[in-house]
Chain A
């Protein structure tokens, strides 16, 4: 393996880990507050891609603005999930999870009917060309994802540790009843959590839109990996999700380079099973779920 291959693999892993982190962090936030487990998280990711497809490819809005707009649009879908599904099923994780599976079906059908089912929408990259680092060619489009994730995750970190409502969200995740006694509204917090969760999934999907084929069913693979990541990371732990995302990003990239993507998925799942056996709470988890 030459230096160029190593650099190539390393950057690819960094990019993949970044996108996993963005998707998995959203799951962890939602699960942390009142255990909202969103089966349709992959469909929110898919919705983000279609926002870019619609606004950038069809309407002609600049790519970056379309990506930024994906946040509020998909966040709104997340908040609808919260209001119509998670709030009435609060206290029953599985019921909320299964019901969002139904919501995933609905999103897939709506998108498929609007923009076509079988057709893969390929979105022209707004940043053609690539840069060469130590002999490895890395496209600008991919390169954009890493800083975008750094900005998003630091923004989230800032919100959760410096902003009043962010702190309230953490308080709610740690002890909902005690949070309520401080005057924090649980409904507002679950809504806020799903806003963030949807927004992150949406931006993730938006950034990936020019790189992967866009179909109504594209979210599935990302959702599977994101769920593996949050289990490995410790369900509700955001730090855990970020760390596990990069671990999985590296595992997938390296195994894909050496063998193929099917094997990579298998190794990822095997890794998860291993973590469950050795430490059922996940890497950063404090409580068994």
Chain B
């Protein structure tokens, strides 16, 4: 008999999910496939955002960091004409570097001030894109980012990632990689040290964790992965402009993390998945849709703080309570 334990469970579960994503291109239409690709990019984004949130630092600039990755990709691929295997790592490093520049002043603030100051710094960067026509293209942004390809037409190893199916697999590989890295961090001593900052700042300082340095480090790692998401996005849509990275997008990212929760590794995944489904299903609502998502955000924060990931524990607690009451009564 198979031993029933959690790690087997997880392994089987992840395998099922991976198999689904591997065969998905054969099951869905091209349009749906594009959505699925965006979904994978969003998974990277939400998961990297969660890394920040584990230290208690919620930022309002994560979308901007994604934008930094996208802009770096645009500039390096279009202007410098570099191939993707140079562009993508560089885009991630550039984003991590910008994150470092953000993190230094931000690490002097806490909680709400941190949140709002990160917003202002993000706006600064967005204005940099708006202001400088060279190299960022001002309000029009960067169009015609070269497509991603390996080799050249005719060569036997040529792969054209303009093809949605190919690009989908490309994104899938990076998503799995990013998730594996984040999962390892989450279970590592380093990850636990970061989480302890959230639960008790002073205590973690007293046991030798350099809180300021850790917060800066998390910010950079999180930024690095946001840069990856941005780079993938830039290659996927082929053109970017400052409007792609507005506050509204940041609010949606927050909605995913609030709906799913950020305490466990699975929270943001649940959040992105459920909200992406709701997003697609509510297309007929058209202009009313933001109001629905606004309402979802309010309802979760007021009625289910902690998100969907806390739902099983809540239900269990409720059942326990009622059964106890029944025993008593």
Contact = CB atoms under 8 A, between A and B. Distances in A.
Contact of B113 (A117, A235, A277): A235
A44 B295 CA distance: 17
A102 B287 contact: no
B251 to A, nearest CB: 5
Interface string A135-157: 00000000000000000000000
Contacts of A96: 301
Interface string B119-144: 11101100110110000000000000
Given A85-B302, A231-B120, A269-B124, A276 B130 contact: no
A231 B117 contact: yes
A231 B295 contact: no
Given A105-B290, A227-B119, A280-B113, A98 B254 contact: yes
Interface stretch (B103-111, B165-173, B316-324): B103-111
Interface in A88-117: 88-89, 92-99, 101-106, 108-110, 112-113, 117
B202 to A, nearest CB: 14
Interface in B291-314: 291, 293-298, 301-302, 305
A37 B113 CA distance: 10
B290 A263 contact: no
B247 interface: yes
Contacts of B120: 224, 227-228, 231, 269, 272-273
Given A98-B254, A106-B291, A289 B301 contact: no
Contacts of B255: 102
Contacts of B251: 101-102, 105
Nearest to B296: A102
A262 interface: yes
A35 B296 CA distance: 23
B258 interface: yes
B116 interface: yes
Residue of B106, B295, B301 most packed against chain A (CB within 10 A):
B301
B20 interface: no
B305 A110 contact: no
B295 A93 contact: no
B108 to A, nearest CB: 5
A102 B303 CA distance: 14
Give the contact-size bracket for chain B.
35 or more
A93 B120 CA distance: 18
Contact of B119 (A94, A110, A224, A289): A224
B108 A277 contact: yes
A98 B123 contact: no
A192 B323 CA distance: 43
A272 B127 contact: no
Residue of A96, A117, A273, A277 most packed against chain B (CB within 10 A):
A273
Interface in A216-235: 220, 224, 227-228, 231, 235
A103 B299 CA distance: 11
B294 A276 contact: no
Interface string B18-31: 00000000000000
Nearest to A39: B251
Nearest to A280: B108
Given A94-B58, A102-B255, A104-B294, 11 more contacts: A37-B112, A84-B298, A92-B305, A95-B301, A102-B293, A102-B294, A105-B297, A227-B119, A235-B113, A260-B131, A288-B110
16 contacts: A85-B301, A95-B301, A99-B301, A105-B290, A108-B290, A109-B291, A262-B130, A262-B131, A269-B120, A269-B123, A273-B124, A276-B106, A280-B108, A288-B109, A288-B113, A289-B109
Interface of A: 35, 37, 84-85, 88-89, 92-99, 101-106, 108-110, 112-113, 117, 220, 224, 227-228, 231, 235, 260, 262-263, 265-266, 269-270, 272-273, 276-277, 280, 288-289
Q: Which 7 A-B pairs have the closest CB atoms?
A: A105-B294, A102-B297, A102-B294, A109-B291, A269-B124, A99-B301, A105-B290
